[in-house]
Amino acid sequence: MFNPKILIISTIFLIIFSGCTEKNTESNNRVLNVGACTDLAPTSYLEDGEFKGFEVELIYEISKRLDLKPEFIAYSFSELLDAVSEGNVDCGIGYIGRTPERQLKMDFSRQYAYTYSSILVKQNSECVGIKCLEHKSVGVLKDSIEEKWLESLSKSMDFDIISYENQNDIHKDLLSGKIDSEVTDHLTSLYLIQEYNSELKIVGDKFDIIYIAIAIDNTNPELKKSIDAALLEMENDGTLVKLKEKWNID
């Protein structure tokens, strides 16, 4: 026998179920646009057309916890900072140091690593420490903290600063002898020494300390809160430590 109550209950159930399904589908399809450098191994780089590295895996883990789908967009380092500050991407990775100057243009997540500036020279160089820069040509990534440090240092020392858009071009010119030294972050320096079979070496002391974080569009405070919550959760459950151990990150 036809029962109108059953029909009403069934209809309500279908509406609720349909609504939940639609909501979940929308949630699972939410995209996180991530600006990423392609030449900053071991944190963010391209290999066979695929983004890889410590920070790339970090973003995948954060996205999973926030029910987001990351889509990576390639930028040079200076372009990446502009993309974040202008709101062209939701966030950016490139072993980005948090500074007061940058915080005027973008937000930053809680820090998850640190590094410092290092001077790289060829293994056969006889110079020692910061004197390796004197009367020499030094390559550095454009708009990096290291570039700002060199500009400040050049007020009391004589050397030529050559700014590059691409980190790999700096390495090539250093190895070929086109430039005399390179200033980059310590993690990149250690990677390059390993990659080039100790053809390069680090000279000098730890000149500064740089705290690394995800750069975030400052018009999206909720995203910053969500990313910070995910990072804190990863710290507490050991996921962050495992990722850093995998990629030899301090």
Residue ranges covered by each domain of the chain: 28-114+212-246, 117-208
Write down the CATH number for the domain with range 28-114+212-246: 3.40.190.10
Alpha-carbon distance of 235 to 237, in angstroms, equals 6
Both structure tokens of 169: 């071009």
Alpha-carbon distance of 100 to 113, in angstroms, equals 17
Both structure tokens of 151: 């500009």
Give me the CATH topology for the region 117-208.
D-Maltodextrin-Binding Protein; domain 2 (3.40.190)
Q: What does the pLDDT read at residue 14? A: 36
Contact call for residues 80 and 36 (beta carbons, < 8 A): yes
Name the residue among 183, 189, 188, 131 with its Cα closest to residue 162.
183
Question: How confident is the prediction along the chain (250 residues), in pLDDT tens digits per residue?
Answer: 434 443 333 333 333 333 433 333 344 569 999 999 999 999 999 999 999 999 999 999 999 999 999 999 999 999 999 999 999 999 999 999 999 999 999 999 999 999 999 999 999 999 888 989 999 999 999 999 999 999 999 999 999 999 999 999 999 999 999 999 999 999 999 999 998 888 999 998 788 899 999 999 999 999 999 999 999 999 999 999 999 999 999 7
> In whole angstroms, how far apart are CA 20 and each of 15, 25, 32, 46?
9, 8, 22, 38
Contact call for residues 138 and 161 (beta carbons, < 8 A): yes
Looking at the DSSP assignment, which residues form a beta bridge with residue 164? 141
Q: What does the pLDDT read at residue 28? A: 52
Name the residue among 223, 183, 222, 179 with its Cα closest to residue 204.
183
- The yes-or-no answer to whether 28-114+212-246 and 117-208 have a common fold is yes
Q: What does the pLDDT read at residue 19? A: 40
DSSP states along 225-240: HHHHHHHHHHHHHTHH
Q: What does the pLDDT read at residue 26? A: 42
Sign of CA dihedral 182, 186, 188, 190: positive
Instruction: Provide the strand spans (E) within the chain.
Output: 31-37, 39-40, 44-47, 50-52, 69-75, 91-93, 107-108, 113-115, 117-122, 137-141, 160-164, 181-185, 200-203, 210-212, 215-216
